[in-house]
Amino acid sequence: GAGVSQSPRYKVAKRGQDVALRCDPISGHVSLFWYQQALGQGPEFLTYFQNEAQLDKSGLPSDRFFAERPEGSVSTLKIQRTQQEDSAVYLCASSSSLTAAGDFNYGYTFGSGTRLTVV
């Protein structure tokens, strides 16, 4: 597709429920990132994939968070036993560049995000 697609756009989960958030990056983009953005804050890094390899997961807040990208394209972020503090917008970004922060001319391409509300 033309951009990074994320689904669902909105998700309401009951506390304790498991959720799965999907990211469809731009075709051919080798780098894929997940960020978490709380209300009124900047995005915070969660994890980074280069093709199917998860090279950095240092930003995942707890072992309830798990991400995968098994075939090097679509990625899923899974949150188990959701808590209220997990409520945030989850942003996915992709880049054709292998450098840490994306292409110098184009940066990352971000999706519109999934807004997760845990009640």
Partner 1 sequence: SQELEQSPQSLIVQEGKNLTINCTSSKTLYGLYWYKQKYGEGLIFLMMLQKGGEEKSHEKITAKLDEKKQQSSLHITASQPSHAGIYLCGAEQSGYALNFGKGTSLLVTP
Rg for the chain (alpha carbons), in Å? 13
Q: Which two tokens stand for residue 88?
A: 């945030």
C-beta closer to partner 1: residue 17 or 74: 74
Smallest gap from residue 9 Cβ to partner 1 (A): 9
C-beta closer to partner 1: residue 28 or 40: 40
Q: The sheet that has 75-79: what strands, in order across it?
A: 5-7, 19-24, 75-79, 65-68
Smallest gap from residue 94 Cβ to partner 1 (A): 11
> Which residues lie below 8 Å from residue 11, measured CB to CB, with a gap of 6+?
19, 21, 114, 115, 116, 117
C-beta closer to partner 1: residue 101 or 119: 101
The binding site for partner 1 (CB under 8 A) comprises: 4, 31, 33, 40-45, 48, 55-56, 58-59, 91, 93, 100-102, 104-113, 115
